[in-house]
Amino acid sequence: MAELTPMMRQYLEIKEKHPDCILFFRLGDFYEMFNEDAKTASRELDLTLTTRDRNKPEDERTPMCGVPYHSCDSYIARLIAKGYKVAICEQTEDPALAKGLVEREIVRIITPGTVTAASMLEEGRNNFICAVCAEGERMGLCLCDISTGEVYATSIASDEPAHLENELGRYRPAEAVLSPGATQVEGLCDFLSARLDCTAQQMGGERFDFDSAWALTCRQFGQEGLPTDDPAAVCAAGGLLSYLYETQKTDLSYIANFNYYTTGQFMELDLTARQTLELTETLRAKEKRGSLLWVLDKTKTAMGSRLLRGWMERPLLSPVQIGRRQQAVGDLVEDIITREELALVLREVTDLERLIGRVVYGSAGGRDLVALANGLGRLPDIRNLLEGCSSSLLQTLRQELDDLPELREELGRALVDEPPFSVREGKFIRPGYHADVDRLRNVIDHGGELLAQLETETKEQTGIRNMKVSYNKVFGYYIEVAKSQIDLVPEGWVRKQTTVNSERYISQELKELEHTILSAQDQVVALEYQLFCQLKEQVCAHVARIQQSAAAVAQVDVLCSFASVAAANSYCMPQVDDSDVLTIVEGRHPVVEKMLKGTPFVPNDTHMDGTGDLCAVITGPNMAGKSTYMRQVALIVLMAQMGSFVPAKSARVGIVDRVFTRIGASDDLAAGQSTFMVEMSEVAQLLRHATGRSLLILDEIGRGTSTYDGMAIARAVVEFCVDKKRLGTKTLFATHYHELTQLEGQLPGVKNYNIAAKKRKDDVIFLRKIVRGGADQSYGVEVAKLAGVPDRVIKRAREILDELERGEGRGVGDAAPCTPTDGQVSLGDMGGQTVLAKLRMTDVNILSPIEALNLLAELKSDLNG
């Protein structure tokens, strides 16, 4: 094999240290990839695969491909989206000054969880990377969004992996770093990859050692505020920091606020509940439109949009904190002028969180600094608008809005309004800011005038009239003097060339001016970059103040969004307390009512408590609105605990610690689980983890098996839910097992409700109203007709249904009389056809009490023969 070039040896040495990354190797204006990296990049990015070794045998050629350095972000983003890691190898010295091979080294490693470029991030969504440490009695979890500097940490008991999955589901990290013990947690790796689409990798246990983790976290965040009594959380934080230091290789000082929380601070929602309630995206299309976030997100800033999503994922459990948010929303609902003016100002606030992150991280450009200054410049207006608000929360946020006037003024004086994309090309320092920049630009812009001025002055000084200053690529600038006047040439001039009619000279003044003109461009670019770095340092000195202001702006934006939605949709302020009461008057589904065009939404009441109204058994036909009603109740509870107003005439919500849902059915074929198995697994999870303060939403439990098995399971679940000694929690239970309506009166706390429907000949009209009592029939055939089932099938179904109801058929293809089984009594088999006929002909609505008693005696006589 041919001997490697020095450059290829350098490449292979660097690649050997990062075998799990695609190496972007800087060569001039391109990032080049070689060997297997080139083949992978060529395949994934549709790049042309080439080689520099065309004179070598084919098996000795080195495959390569490349992308322009100035447009690499889009290529990197595509690789990251496919799960690859990209190592950026830059030239660390000026090629013009290098002696021999240019020095290169890895400046950062980009992974799915460490993306900072705006083009690779979704504005309204955080991009978290997490670390899980499971090496003892508790599992530590730490999450970080390095684009904003946010850090969250907590710990969970090692025997509760479901709680860990719920916490991961809150944040949906793009990347996970796992301790050796974490990879052994049952189902964790599958959950991360299959349910969260998260890239997970195991790291060595030394990263999660407590002593080293404590040292790293103290160095990054300071000791104050760290959870000294939760070593698992500290170990997870230390492991994550170790990974970030290794991959980012830059200043991470903006990651400074360590937010430690316990799992009892927020309402817990498992991933199933988040999906079935369609909080941030729809279940089928996976899009924002049609979700609760779509309804509530009227934010004007990227920071506010991210925070709103965070509040939705982490509803509060403290009535006091909820009340502070509600009071702020109430102020803004009542003051429409302030609310609308705030919306106009907020629209002009830039993404301060991510801008300051990029500045400290080192990836910011001139445009980022201008955007930062512009965003800060709108804060005084927000502060002035909030001055008249009475809410304590709004006043606190007003005090936290720091617009840094000195920094804004400095950035405004230094930078032009629209800087170029790259800070390596100059032209972004404002004229008048720096004297040397102005002087060099003058040289660049007026070099010809300076040469003409030198020529005039030289003629006057020497008396040489027949001379001129010219330029060629061999000598550069020179003075050409006619031979008739060479006797006037000063002594200090140096002759460079003789032509037929003239002599060419160089003077010291011309030499200096030539150097100034030819080097001015390089000098001004270098000087502007130096000034840019100084400006960045000034900005970095105020990172904490900027982050505080950004957080305050985000909260104001979310509160304004809540107020706008509440005012536009006639929401009310719910009463949130520590009781076990859940009362909703004329509640509406926040999403469905927005999707209905021209059709009014039918509101419904809800009353539940910890005693007499603990479980609502809801019957009624399919498509009548049972699932919509139950989801509506859950969403109203969740909105209330976010601090939002709710779609109702009035509401009282006792704090709910967890919402569990079992709605819909689907196979999990990849895991080898049937619809019924998935359903039972979800039921098992909610019964195991629900508490007396939870809210359970159960839809058609037991439908995936035989009728008797399903009915037995459904009844047992209801009994478990209302039993105070076992669970005793508020439950909405929708079912087609009408036999379960018998539980009212048998089990304390169970009440029957149904969705009202009206039958007109062969059609059914759904009234969408929840009323007391059980449903009299399911209207299955009528629903099938509405769904478009062929008329011949509908007609035959009615015939079979009539036979079954008359007791004339045992099954679909059997017209023989039914045989009583398991103690069931068939009225038809007891000679009761006459009785049935009389009952069908009787209108019970018009019978008087005495007539009803006489009819009952007559029917009894007929049965007795």
Alpha helices in 571-674 (DSSP H): 592-595, 626-642
> Is the pLDDT reported for residue 22 higher than 90?
yes
> Is the pLDDT reported for residue 669 higher than 70?
no
Query: Residue 576 and residue 656: Cα distance in Å, rounded?
Result: 10
Average pLDDT, the chain: 88
The pLDDT > 70 percentage for the chain reads: 92
DSSP per-residue codes, 551-563: HHHHHHHHHHHHH
pLDDT tens sequence across 163-180: 999 999 999 999 999 999
Task: Provide the pLDDT for residue 778.
Answer: 67
- Please tell me the least confidently modeled range out of 457-466, 750-759, 817-826: 817-826
Q: Give the three-class secondary structure for 254.
A: coil
The pLDDT > 90 percentage for the chain reads: 60
**CB-neighbour burial class of residue 331 (10 A; exposed 0-12, middle 13-18, buried 19+):** buried
Length of the chain: 865
The mean pLDDT value for 742-763 works out to: 84
The mean pLDDT value for 783-807 works out to: 79
Beta strands 658-662 and 268-269, pairing class: parallel
DSSP H or E run through 235? helix 231-248
> Is the pLDDT reported for residue 668 higher than 60?
no
Task: Provide the pLDDT for residue 626.
Answer: 87
> Is the pLDDT reported for residue 642 higher than 80?
yes
Task: Provide the pLDDT for residue 665.
Answer: 53
> Is the pLDDT reported for residue 812 higher than 50?
no
Query: Residue 840 and residue 490: Cα distance in Å, rounded?
Result: 132
The mean pLDDT value for 136-151 works out to: 94
Specify the higher pLDDT residue, 675 or 427.
427
- 572: which DSSP letter? B
> Is the pLDDT reported for residue 139 higher than 80?
yes
> Is the pLDDT reported for residue 827 higher than 70?
no
> Is the pLDDT reported for residue 683 higher than 60?
yes
The mean pLDDT value for 258-279 works out to: 91
Query: Residue 826 and residue 68: Cα distance in Å, rounded?
Result: 83
- Please tell me the least confidently modeled range out of 95-104, 512-521, 714-723, 774-783: 774-783
> Is the pLDDT reported for residue 818 higher than 80?
no
| Tokens (6 digits) for 58 | 């084919």
> pLDDT-based confidence at 1, cuts 50/70/90?
very low
Task: Provide the pLDDT for residue 815.
Answer: 40
Task: Provide the pLDDT for residue 663.
Answer: 81
> Is the pLDDT reported for residue 447 higher than 90?
no
Measured CA angle at 708 (ends 707, 714), to 5 deg: 90
> pLDDT-based confidence at 796, cuts 50/70/90?
confident
pLDDT tens sequence across 483-523: 989 889 898 899 988 898 899 999 999 888 888 888 888 89
> Is the pLDDT reported for residue 829 higher than 50?
no
> pLDDT-based confidence at 394, cuts 50/70/90?
very high
Give the global pTM.
Answer: 0.84
pLDDT tens sequence across 589-617: 999 999 987 788 999 999 999 888 999 99
- 818: which DSSP letter? P
Asked if 822 and 812 touch (Cβ cutoff 8 Å), the reply is no
The mean pLDDT value for 744-753 works out to: 91
The mean pLDDT value for 769-798 works out to: 79
> pLDDT-based confidence at 656, cuts 50/70/90?
very high
> pLDDT-based confidence at 657, cuts 50/70/90?
very high
**CB-neighbour burial class of residue 142 (10 A; exposed 0-12, middle 13-18, buried 19+):** buried
Task: Provide the pLDDT for residue 865.
Answer: 59
| Tokens (6 digits) for 655 | 């704090």
